[in-house]
Structure 1
């Protein structure tokens, strides 16, 4: 059992990189990829702990790509040749994220919700600040009943407190990823909000630009749709991967090593990933 999509406190997860590896060991995973959002800050710690516990480790990252109307997240799996240009691009994304948070705060103030950034950072408890922490603030102020309502009324796309994320253009992200020796995998493809009838053509075009793989299995998708995505990926000659998108306490429904339909993630989904050394095992 493996997992090719997980997050730590280096981005928006609730487990430290070491705790994440401990959890992987507890759940009897043989391989884990750490793919924090737009940062590689947790990779060294996770690698050290994985070596101590005898778990194969895939260094990765999940990068925000400019896309409309949905969301495009690109997994870089198997980062083996990190370079200054790649790390500078990630640092720029982190700065854009900070700028976005400040813009959300300004929009809240314009509509009469007084708060300072220190309050938001305190709610983040040392983790990367994001919309969930603004949602928690709105709950605490009694403006909404729960975080889901905070998003649906105020923080979702098109709502009063929404601000767009910083993102890389796909061509730039692919170029940077290739230079690290990693493969580029389209995460949770249904988040693109592309109709099924058009999806094969879109994915084929992405492949022509340099896309290496498709994350066919993700816990937010139905099993039949994951099966359909797997067939699509195979038909186009893409790597087919699977992940839990584990975040820890903030998303307790997700478990390491499990994906859609609570299915175990088989070792075969790591085939073709640099450093996996998992050749056709299941």
Structure 2
């Protein structure tokens, strides 16, 4: 295994996390407090198709005088070759009118999909799924994760992996094909807001090596800036392979836990380091740290 490079020693950068503004379980305040407990020095909040968690998090940092730098971010759902691909925006301007209008369109799509999921579950004799999922979302962006938690609460499954496999995955009762924007549209919206675009968790789309390289090549061709190379939990050699792809396609490298809730295997800042042969996204684009 490649040893962590000196640039990762301190501060710890965690550039992918979620709050209750989308499908995370912690409030923005609780998230930044936990980040400091885990020795994270730079944190990006990247909720699904919303930046609503950023300002409360920054207010908490100022309130408690936390030794934490916050990067304003967002995670945008896109569709490429019939695959749902996530693009993280780092260093975005939360007030940018192009970005805010774009995210509103995304959330309109998200709500339309949620209604269809609920209709399918209703036909399968699982009532009140929409109201249940909306209650769990608590005013944040609704996701399939909220439906999964609702189904678990109804005794339909024991855990998130099981409920997705049995109800929400492609071809299952509650699956509805997404109608997201294109990768280019997401990148353009991020760039309009002054941010940098990052291909999120490329190893988690179930793509063969050939198709993964096609995805990364397309992302690079349409203006992508970086790709996630390091996560808390990765297959053996995945980090090394993704670092090679980042070099091959001239992309900066990012790292992030994709933290949603406290659990033993995914934690803020855990095992986040980059191989020494890549350029970190915060080095190539230092402006992303300016909130």
TM-score > 0.5, shorter chain as reference: yes
Q: Which sections of structure 2, spanning at least 5 residues, go unmatched?
A: 1-11
**Which residue does the alignment assign to 2:26?**
15
Is the 8 Å Cα contact of residues 232 and 266 (structure 2) preserved in structure 1? yes
Over the aligned positions, Cα root-mean-square deviation in angstroms equals 2.6
For 1:98-133, what per-residue CA distance to the aligned partner results, in whole angstroms no more than 9, with x for missing partners?
Answer: 121111111112222222533333344555433233
Q: Separation in 2 of the partners of 1:202 and 1:150? A: 28
The 1:204/1:108 distance shift into structure 2, 3 A limit, reads: closer
Q: In the alignment, which of 171, 178, 183 is matched to residue 165 of structure 1?
A: 178
Work out whether 1:37 is the aligned partner of 2:48: yes
**Which residue does the alignment assign to 1:156?**
169
Q: Separation in 2 of the partners of 1:191 and 1:91? A: 26
For 1:134-188, what per-residue CA distance to the aligned partner results, in whole angstroms no more than 9, with x for missing partners?
Answer: 3344344444454433221221111121112341112221211111111111001
Is the 8 Å Cα contact of residues 6 and 247 (structure 1) preserved in structure 2? yes
Work out whether 1:217 is the aligned partner of 2:230: yes
For 1:190-248, what per-residue CA distance to the aligned partner results, in whole angstroms no more than 9, with x for missing partners?
Answer: 23433213433442332121011110112342241111101210232211011100112
Work out whether 1:47 is the aligned partner of 2:58: yes
**Which residue does the alignment assign to 2:35?**
24
User: Any residues of structure 2 matched to 1:55-134 within 5 Å, and which?
Assistant: 55-80=68-93, 82-115=95-128, 117-124=130-137, 127-134=140-147
Is the partner of 1:275 in helix, strand or coil?
helix
Work out whether 1:254 is the aligned partner of 2:263: no
Q: Separation in 2 of the partners of 1:68 and 1:201? A: 10
Q: Separation in 1 of the partners of 2:242 and 2:129? A: 44
Structure 1 residue 43: deviation in Å?
Answer: 1.1
Work out whether 1:180 is the aligned partner of 2:193: yes
Q: Scaled by the length of structure 1, what TM-score is found?
A: 0.86
Is the partner of 1:103 in helix, strand or coil?
helix
Is the partner of 1:197 in helix, strand or coil?
helix
**Which residue does the alignment assign to 1:273?**
285
Q: Which sections of structure 1, spanning at least 5 residues, go unmatched?
A: none
Q: Separation in 1 of the partners of 2:282 and 2:119? A: 44
